[in-house]
Amino acid sequence: MAGADGGVPRLVVPPKPVEPPRVPPPPAETFQPEPVPATPQPEPAQPEPERPAIEPLFTWAPGLNWAGPGDHWAQAWDAEQHPVPDPGPLTAPPPGSAAELPPTPRDLELIAATLAVVEPVADRATAHFYALLFLHYPQLRSLFPAAMDVQRDRLFRALLMAARGAGDPVTLTAQLGALGRGHRKYGTLAAHYGPVGECLLAALARYAGGRWDAEAELAWRRAYRMVSQIMIDAAEQAARTAPPWWQGEVVSHQVRGRDVAVLTVRPDQPYPYRAGQYATLETPWWPRVWRNYSFATAPRPDGLLTFHVRAVQAGWVSNALLRRARPGDVLRLGPPAGRMVLDHADPTPLLCVGGGTGIAPISALVEDVAEHGSAGRTVQVLYGARRADDLYQLEALRQLERRHPWLAVRPVLSEPGGTAGEPGGLLSDVAAQLGPWDGHRAFLAGPAAMVRRAAAALARSGVHPELIRHDLPEE
């Protein structure tokens, strides 16, 4: 994927620190509500004990989830003074209790029934969920961006999706495992899942109407426990071998055309990834705001990482990377993700369709084939853009084409006045016209609308749907 951004924030951008030079500032302070005076208690009654607090982002955490000393983005707290609270009954039900059992077929029916009622009012249920979460657990506010316009419904929607898929544990484990590993970069701990579950159930109870009763609540508790445990286990397993994030210094920043930047980043420790994958990036100017960007090259011996960034109108991260980032600035990188990877033992011919900065992962895949050998297969690349001057990666692909007879590169321009002898029009339409593509494996990257149209067109042109790979953000 090439990257996605949210709306214009109404925040003041914090200045860069002076000492030490070129080191990102610590995360911005989060809002803390004014303390509410305690209600006087009649004598001799004792004051009600305080509820254990959930530790905020980047504080002490057990095991390898802690960032470690010397990390400028984190703060280590004394474990004895700031213990992690008990996760609560949702993630640790009493042994032998009904909530500890896996969801039953009847539970799945009840979950589907409540979802049918809640989904039409999902926006209000989502707002209520976050209101409960931040009111009763204000420390958890630091896990989220300062502006919630993009993030607001993401967690709630993911939880509902997971509950709906509770009947397919194998697929659910694969999906939620990646989600749990990705949440490590936010500072998410096992103890956070309990409060989130409490507020989720409270929001569902409010908006599920007559569909909510004790039996429905038990069904959701079972489903949520299974969902949270999958994510917790995946995060703990990842913590044994990899940090929750990497820091990367920008070593090169090149502007290509009107609104594209090519960034080369040196990570602070080895960063394993595969050609075709992507990483989430966070800039020092927008703490806790992460965006997806694909690797533009196959893994390199020097360990450097390259990303193509197109500035999106009102895009926080993309505009910061294009117009503010310079060599010496330090970014944060989440773990690699994505399923657009090659099996080098498979000789199936490849069709690679890249639109705009979606050509970045396509270029990485072509490099990967060149390095490992084509295994007798052919690779055809369709590179789409509006105008000829937007084909910023064409010459690099042409150089590879001249060296490797198995590679064919065809530019596709959607606006009139294209290259003579080359097809023109919408990239998805041209891909279908050049078919049939039966017997090919297809890799698609670029704007979401283009990827969806191309996937449907290629399926009609003979490509089996299981052989079409892409990484749309919502999937």
pLDDT at 438 over 60: yes
Whether residue 344 has pLDDT greater than 60: yes
**Could you tell me if 56 and 30 are in contact, meaning their C-beta atoms sit under 8 angstroms apart?**
yes
When pLDDT is cut at 50, 70 and 90, the band that residue 449 belongs to is: very high
Tokens describing residue 121: 């009012």
In this predicted structure, what is the pLDDT of residue 379?
Answer: 96
178-214 burial, b for 16+ CB within 10 Å, e for fewer? bbbbbbbbbbbbbbbbbbbbbbbbebbbbbbeebbee
Q: What is the pLDDT of residues 26-38, one digit of tens each?
A: 444 333 333 434 4
* Most confident region among 11-25, 47-61, 190-204 by mean pLDDT: 190-204
Beta strand pairing call for 278-282 and 290-294: antiparallel
Look up residue 30 and give its two tokens. 């989060």
Which domains, and CATH codes, for the chain?
Answer: 63-239 (1.10.490.10), 246-333 (2.40.30.10), 350-469 (3.40.50.80)
Per-residue model confidence (pLDDT) at position 93:
52
**Positive or negative, the Cα torsion across 314, 319, 323, 328?**
positive
pLDDT-derived band at 58, boundaries 50, 70, 90: very low
The 3-state DSSP class for residue 136 equals: helix
Cα angle value 66/69/70 (rounded, 5°) = 125
Q: Residue 427: pLDDT above 50?
A: yes
Query: Measured between alpha carbons, how far is residue 423 from residues 150, 308, 371, 445 in Å?
Result: 37, 25, 29, 19
Q: Mean pLDDT in the chain?
A: 79
Average confidence (pLDDT) over 368-378? 90
0.75 exceeded by the pTM? no
Of the candidates 175, 327, 163, 324, which has an alpha carbon nearest to the alpha carbon of residue 251?
A: 327
Higher pLDDT, 295 or 5: 295
Rounded to an integer, the average pLDDT of 7-17 is 41
pLDDT, tens only, 136-158: 998 888 777 766 665 666 666 67
Averaging pLDDT over each range in 131-145, 260-274, 305-319, which range is the top one? 260-274
Give the pLDDT mean for 43-47: 43
As a whole number of Å, the CA-based R_g of the chain is: 25
Percentage of residues in the chain with pLDDT exceeding 70? Answer: 73
Q: How confident is the model at residue 275 (pLDDT cuts 50, 70, 90)?
A: very high
pLDDT of 469 higher than 90: yes
